[in-house]
Amino acid sequence: MIGLHRNTVEVVEHHPGWADLAASACQDIQRVAGDLFAGLQHVGSTAVPDLPAKPIIDIAAGICTPDVVPELLELMPTIGYLYCGDGTNGGHLFVKESSPDVRTIHVHVVEHNGTQWRNYLLFRNLLRQDPDIRRQYAALKQELGERFCDDRPSYTASKHDFIWGILEARVSQSQSKPSEG
């Protein structure tokens, strides 16, 4: 139900149990490092019902200041997370594995209410609310998953234009609406 070998891609049908796994992971993180996070959110395709996804849970973990990262480097391994570095735009990445190189959870530590935090939530919410965007994204993911089955970086990079196009269109729409007064 969950887990994928590092650097491989397999897009599978949505599993309703993913939400419970994400909630459990968030509880574990909250228990160990809760005061360091301003918010924890299940994001990515596994957070969207009826959307095929790579079977890896993504969690956006919002921090108020980067000063807490050294403490996270000590705390997150106590609950089984490996630190994979700072991907800058994607934040500091912690991963949980079910066995060596089989990833089950990605925790993206980003600035709470910063641009990346807002983008994670906005894209997830748009996919949940708009069946047309969800269908387009599902088709893209399936096609890219087949093309890049052993090349996750290329799979991820190839989704970039679609994701940013959707996000930019939504931001433009919200900025062009007349203010209510």
Q: What is the CATH number of the domain that holds 63?
A: 3.30.460.10
pLDDT of res. 181: 45
From CA 37, how far away is CA 22, in angstroms rounded? 16
pTM for the full predicted model: 0.92
The number of distinct structural domains making up the chain is: 1
Q: Which domain holds residue 56?
A: 4-172
- Whether the per-residue pLDDT at 170 is higher than 90: the answer is no
Q: Does the residue 115 lie in any domain?
A: yes
Residue 105 burial (C-beta neighbours within 10 Å; 0-12, 13-18, 19+): buried
pLDDT in tens, 48-106: 999 999 999 999 999 999 999 999 999 999 999 999 998 766 789 999 999 999 999 99
- pLDDT score of 87: 75
Q: Looking at the domain assignment, is residue 74 inside a domain?
A: yes
Domain assignment present for residue 179? The answer is no
- Residue 134 domain flag: yes
Looking at the predicted structure, is the pLDDT value of residue 174 above 80? no
Q: What is the pLDDT of residue 177?
A: 59
DSSP 90-121: G-EEEEEEEETTEEEEEEEEEETTSHHHHHHH
